[in-house]
C-alpha cells in the first residue's frame, strides 16, 4: 500500500467516525504519521479526498446492481441478488460505505450533482426490478418507489450496526433480508 492509499484508508475511517467537517487535515496527518503540509504531496485537497471515496464506493455499488439487473433470473431472485451484492459492498468496506452514505453532502458542484444523479440511478434499478416482478405477477402490486426506498433505507443502515467480527456473515444477513422483504413477518 503506497502512501496515497494509506492516506485514503485513514481518511475514510476518520471521516466516518468524526464526520468530514470535523476531521482536520492535521488530525489526518498525525494519524498517518507525517506533517499536515506533507499530505498535499499526495492529494489535491480535502474535498478531492472525499470525492474519490464517494465515487469509488458508488462504482462498487453500480457493479453489484448491474450484475443483478442483467442476471437471467426471475425478479425475486434478481432482488435477492441485488440485496446480497449491496450487503457485500457494505460489509467489505464499512468505512467507505458510511462516508458514501453520509458525507457526500459536503461535496461541492459539479460533483454534488453528479453524485446525486448516480444515487438516484442506483435506486431506480431496484425500483425497476420490483416493477418487473409486479408486471410478471409474482410480486404484490405495491408502490414500487416507496418499496425501493424502504428496502434501500434498511440496507443503508447496515454499516451502523454490522460487526464484521460477529457470527453473522454478510451472506447470512443477506438471506435474512431477502426473506424479510419477500415473505414478510406474518405466518
Residues 6+ apart with CB under 8 A from 129: 68, 69, 75, 78, 79, 82
Residue 78 dihedral angles phi and psi, to the nearest 5° = -65, -45
By a kind-dependent CB cut-off of 5 to 8 A, residue 130 interacts, out of a copy of itself, DNA, none, with: a copy of itself
CB of 11 or CB of 158, closer to a copy of itself: 158
Query: Would you give the binding string for a copy of itself spanning residues 76-115, x where CB under 8 A is met?
Result: x--x----------------------x--xx---------
- Please identify which residue in 50, 94, 152, 174 interacts with a copy of itself, judged by CB under 8 A: 152
Q: Is 163 in the site for a copy of itself (CB under 8 A)?
A: no
Which range touches DNA (CB under 7 A), out of 43-51, 100-108, 129-137, 150-158?
43-51
Distance (Å) of CA 88 to CA 97, 143, 159, 166: 11, 27, 11, 15
Per the structure block, which three cell numbers stand in for 88? 457485500
CB distance 170 to 87 below 8 Å: yes
Choose one: 18-26, 31-39, 86-94, 108-116; the region binding a copy of itself (CB under 8 A). 18-26
Does residue 45 bind a copy of itself (CB under 8 A)?
Answer: no
Q: Which three-class secondary structure state does DSSP give residue 108?
A: coil
- Asked if 61 and 122 count as a contact pair (C-beta separation under 8 A), the reply is yes
Chain residues in the site for DNA (CB under 7 A): 3, 23-27, 34-38, 40-42, 45-47
Amino acid at each position: 500500500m503506497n502512501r496515497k492509499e494509506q492516506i485514503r484508508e485513514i481518511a475514510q475511517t476518520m471521516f466516518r467516525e468524526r464526520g468530514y467537517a470535523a476531521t482536520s487535515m492535521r488530525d489526518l496527518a498525525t494519524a498517518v504519521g507525517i506533517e499536515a503540509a506533507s499530505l498535499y504531496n499526495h492529494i489535491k485537497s480535502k474535498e478531492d479526498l472525499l470525492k474519490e471515496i464517494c465515487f469509488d464506493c458508488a462504482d462498487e455499488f453500480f457493479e453489484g446492481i448491474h450484475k443483478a439487473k442483467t442476471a437471467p433470473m426471475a425478479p425475486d431472485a434478481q432482488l435477492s441478488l441485488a440485496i446480497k451484492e449491496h450487503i457485500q459492498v457494505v460489509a467489505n468496506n464499512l468505512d467507505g460505505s458510511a462516508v458514501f452514505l453520509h458525507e457526500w453532502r459536503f461535496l461541492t458542484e459539479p460533483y454534488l450533482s453528479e453524485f446525486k444523479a448516480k444515487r438516484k440511478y442506483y435506486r431506480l434499478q431496484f425500483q425497476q426490478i420490483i416493477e418487473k416482478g409486479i408486471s410478471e405477477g409474482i410480486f404484490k402490486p405495491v408502490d414500487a418507489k416507496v418499496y425501493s426506498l424502504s428496502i434501500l433505507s434498511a440496507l443503508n443502515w447496515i454499516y451502523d450496526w454490522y460487526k464484521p467480527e460477529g457470527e453473522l456473515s454478510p451472506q447470512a444477513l443477506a438471506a435474512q433480508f431477502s426473506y424479510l422483504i419477500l415473505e414478510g413477518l406474518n405466518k
